Amino acid sequence: MQMKWMNACLSLSGYLLLAGPAASAMVDCQPAQGAGRFSVFLSEPAGAALTPAQLKPFLQRLQFELDRNRDGRWINAPSTDVTFVACPGRTPSLDGQDFDETLVDGLHTRGVLLEVWGSLDAEPGAAAGAPPQLRAQMNYLLVPMQFAANLREADPAPLQRLRYPEAGAAHAASVQDPVQLIARPLDIDAFVAAAFGYKLLRSRSYELAHANLCRADSLLEAIALRPLTGRSKTELATLRAFVLASAGRAVREALADAAYPKTGVLRLQAGVKPCAGED
């Protein structure tokens, strides 16, 4: 474990040294400390919408915006308890090529479930005098899924890409605040639940894994109803299929595990679709 972490550090140093003008800079970021704590990294977006001086305040605000369930224990929110971590200076490339096996291994080991980054641009307004329209492509790397892909265990589409605003979205033209444009609680909840559920499955916490994966399935289904196109649509469909298959795997492995209780609630789900519901 220590050797892997050293490798990750060396790898990060290498990225810093090799970073070019339009290249990435994978400075390290400190996840939440403590056993059983999970983090979401918020890295700097590329693009022309923000000046370098605006990036750090942008990330801090994004962190505050997304962390709205910080007091989740007081509101009994079903969302996973994660800590959002702003990572100023960390700028992964848009295609996600920075996330090699060593880096992903380090993130996975340190309880990072998701890394979010992307690009933010401002296009001229449709009419003369109209304010510029913000456009974003946000990338979401589901770390446990990428970890599994690196081990050739699965092909779960660990890198999800969504564009904001979506075609025909209400308020699309009026969103002038980049944080409000990209801070989508439902999207984040979906990817966090998927990543957390899969991580739990790998650690054989079958019931928690199943509940999180089914929650992710419901949320991904809601995202899929939006007017997604092209790569975003196919990648999301691939992820959802993987999430459903993983939920089914949680049931199967629980039933096959001699240590799983005879009255375990997953036995109710045997023989039905992994997350039940309509066809």
Least distance between other proteins and beta carbon 231 (Å): 21
Burial label for 192, CB within 10 Å (0-12, 13-18, 19+), is: buried
124 vs 227, beta carbon nearer other proteins: 227
Q: Identify the helix (H) or strand (E) that includes residue 3.
A: helix 2-18
Q: How far apart are CA 130 and CA 183, in angstroms?
A: 24
Among 75, 128, 256, 258, binds other proteins (CB under 8 A): 75
Q: 3-class secondary structure for 171-221? A: CHHHCCCHHHHHCCHHHHHHHHHHHHHHHHHHCCCHHHHHHHHHHHHHHHH
Confirm or reject binding of residue 263 to other proteins (CB under 8 A): yes
Among 46, 85, 113, 193, binds other proteins (CB under 8 A): 193
Token pair belonging to 135: 């456009």
Q: Which of residues 208-237 bind other proteins (CB under 8 A)?
A: 210-211, 214-215, 218-219, 221-222
Least distance between other proteins and beta carbon 99 (Å): 27
Confirm or reject binding of residue 167 to other proteins (CB under 8 A): no
Q: How far apart are CA 228 and CA 149, in angstroms?
A: 24
Q: Which of residues 39-58 bind other proteins (CB under 8 A)?
A: 56-57
* DSSP letter string, 112-135: EEEEEEEEEEEEPPSSTTPPPEEE
69 vs 93, beta carbon nearer other proteins: 69
Q: How many CB atoms lie within 10 A of CB 254?
A: 24
Least distance between other proteins and beta carbon 235 (Å): 19
104 vs 116, beta carbon nearer other proteins: 116
Question: How many residues does the structure list for the chain?
Answer: 279
3-state secondary structure of 100: coil
Among 44, 98, 115, 189, binds other proteins (CB under 8 A): 189
Least distance between other proteins and beta carbon 223 (Å): 9
| Contact footprint for other proteins (CB under 8 A) | 56-57, 60-61, 64-65, 68-79, 169-171, 180, 183-186, 189, 193, 207, 210-211, 214-215, 218-219, 221-222, 247, 263, 265-269, 272-278
